[in-house]
Amino acid sequence: MTTPATNPAPTPLIALLFPGQGSQSVGMGRALYDAHPAARAVFEEADDALGFSLSDIIFNGPDDTLKLTEHTQPAILTVSIAALRVLEHELHARHLFIHYAAGHSLGEYSAHVAARTLSFADAVRTVRARGQFMQSAVPAGQGAMAAILGLPIADIEAACAAATAELAPEVVATANLNSPDQTVISGSKAAVERAAERCKELGAKRAVMLPVSAPFHCPLMMPAQLQLATHLASIPFHDPAFPVASNVDARLLTTADAVRDALIRQVTGAVRWVECIGLLHQSGVTHYIEVGPGKVLTGLNRQIDRALATTNVEDPASLEKTLLSLSPAS
């Protein structure tokens, strides 16, 4: 008697997604630190690279200290890479591979550490400097950001153009194209407020001013972009081990020179997240794994397309759920 042939489960095509600023919380990553030596080694490497105990700020705060951009950026990168190192070990044990990566703003650096484009030590020092450059680019109180919910991107862009024309030389532009339902605008405080009001007049469900310390991803960040360009010129880059989706162009990058250029232009350019996810989907990705603190990108994937299979890894429990979702029986 013969056994009927069965088709083996298809091998998952995996894309890693890395969160950006806003996903931080005091105590993040502690469970991974306690449970996995590979994660612990990442925190120790970050402390050594920076010359102070970033780990203490991450685990113990206070919250106001963690929220300082120069601490937030290396902190999120560190927790993301700690989670990555544990996940990589588990994927290797299961003969599974990472095919693509993308990161939201700051998260693009985590994606390139994952792709071995640059070292973790260089990345953690760079994002701390990036945070300092961005914080000092615009005097406190002069810039702002707002989230616009439930309004087509064309209407939001029109509102920004009208506010810029009306209040010149004040500027406002789209900064984060997060989902079909959520776009963030950024720029001079008066122009952001005027554009937000115009968006409400055009039918936005909500227009919410965000509690941020600087107007990221807009032309006002040009001083930071120029400083970062000088900094990145001194950092060794390698061709990525797998393609990484670029925020600023929404295209897959495979060369070191293209990566460096994209990371520079990203400072003033918009995060084209919807297009990045669409690009990965078109490339055949079957499983998306958010790696790092929180579930912001998991939530955005649900808004972009509820059919996208997305899990996250931020602690041992979420790691276990993700590995279960990748098993043949899933």
Respond yes or no: is residue 25 known to be catalytic.
Answer: no
Catalytic residue among 23, 55, 80, 105: 105
Catalytic residue among 104, 112, 217, 287: 217
| Domains by residue range for the chain, with CATH | 14-137+220-325 (3.40.366.10), 143-212 (3.30.70.250)
Query: Contact, 133 vs 48, CB < 8 A?
Result: no
Query: Contact, 197 vs 162, CB < 8 A?
Result: no
Of 132, 148, 80, 152, residue with least CA distance to 297: 80
> What does the pLDDT look like over 136-188, one tens digit per residue?
999 988 999 999 999 999 999 999 999 999 999 999 999 999 999 999 999 99
pLDDT band at 7 (very low <50, low <70, confident <90, very high): low
Respond yes or no: is residue 99 known to be catalytic.
Answer: no
> What does the pLDDT look like over 112-133, one tens digit per residue?
999 999 999 999 999 999 999 9
Residue 148 has φ and ψ, to the nearest 5°, of -110, 120
Distance CA 125, CA 274 (A): 29
Tokens of 198: 């115009």
Whether 322 shows a pLDDT value over 80: the answer reads yes
Query: Contact, 54 vs 26, CB < 8 A?
Result: no
